[in-house]
Structure 1
Amino acid sequence: MHTTMQQRVEDLAALRERTVLATADFYAKLGRPAPAEGPNYKAVAKGNAWHIVEVKTGKTRCFCFSYKAALRFVDALEAAATRKLVGRQ
């Protein structure tokens, strides 16, 4: 990766970390628990297929032709996202 791009990525990661800490401090001052994050993916019925949509971006990741397969795929994507987040903390 280009050095300026790498620097930008590191700066954004540091800002994100500060944002998370500031939010936790804010809720601690209020004496309330921080809100839990929602799901990263959802299954949406469109025609004869189920589209697996990323909630934050609204982009379709894939599609399945049965509800059961769509839910299994959503669960797999959520588990993969959780594994990636655990490694970063």
Structure 2
Amino acid sequence: MHTSFAQRVTALEGLRARTRQATAEFYQKPGVMPPPLAPLIIVRPSGNNTFSLINRATGVVMAERFGHNNATSYARELEAKEAHFDIKKFGKVLRNWALRIGAILTVFAFFGSHL
């Protein structure tokens, strides 16, 4: 990369960092409400009054609905379900951590027995 481009990239990165810091400081002031988070589900038209509900993080089409009102109401329902932490999600998290810890202990036992 040319030196002038590298200097410009460095200067812009410094400005971006300062902007992020100033924004964080602004929202820490009392009485200032941060903007709402971006929606988890995007409603995108797919033709003939049909709308696709797309997961923003993965880009996977989760469902299709006929009519804009139906699509947006179903998207709100899906977001409410995602925000709700129930016993099934807790069980999955606990199972995953137990499997990880078990695998690590197995590796330690295996290597410890060969010493």
The corresponding residue for 1:83 is 84
One-letter code aligned to 1:77: L
- Distance of 2:66 and 2:75 partners within structure 1: 13
**How many residues are matched?**
61
Identify unmatched segments of 5+ residues in structure 1. 1-25
The corresponding residue for 1:13 is none
Larger Rg: 2
The secondary structure found in structure 2 opposite 1:84 is coil
The secondary structure found in structure 2 opposite 1:72 is helix
Q: Could you report, residue by residue, the CA deviation over 1:22-69 in whole angstroms, capped at 9, with x for unpaired residues?
A: xxxx96xx5243775311001100112100000111110000011111
The secondary structure found in structure 2 opposite 1:45 is strand
Q: What's the RMSD between the two structures over aligned residues?
A: 3.0
The share of aligned pairs that are identical, in percent, is: 18
- Distance of 1:69 and 1:57 partners within structure 2: 22
What stretches of structure 1 move > 4 A for 4+ residues in a row?
none
The corresponding residue for 1:38 is 38
Q: TM-score, normalised by structure 1?
A: 0.55
Q: TM-score, normalised by structure 2?
A: 0.44
The secondary structure found in structure 2 opposite 1:39 is coil
Cα distance, 1:72 vs structure 2: 0.9
The corresponding residue for 2:51 is 50
- Distance of 1:55 and 1:66 partners within structure 2: 20
Higher normalized contact order (CA 8 Å, seq sep 6+, divided by chain length): 1
Identify unmatched segments of 5+ residues in structure 2. 1-19, 28-33, 91-115
Cα distance, 1:82 vs structure 2: 1.3
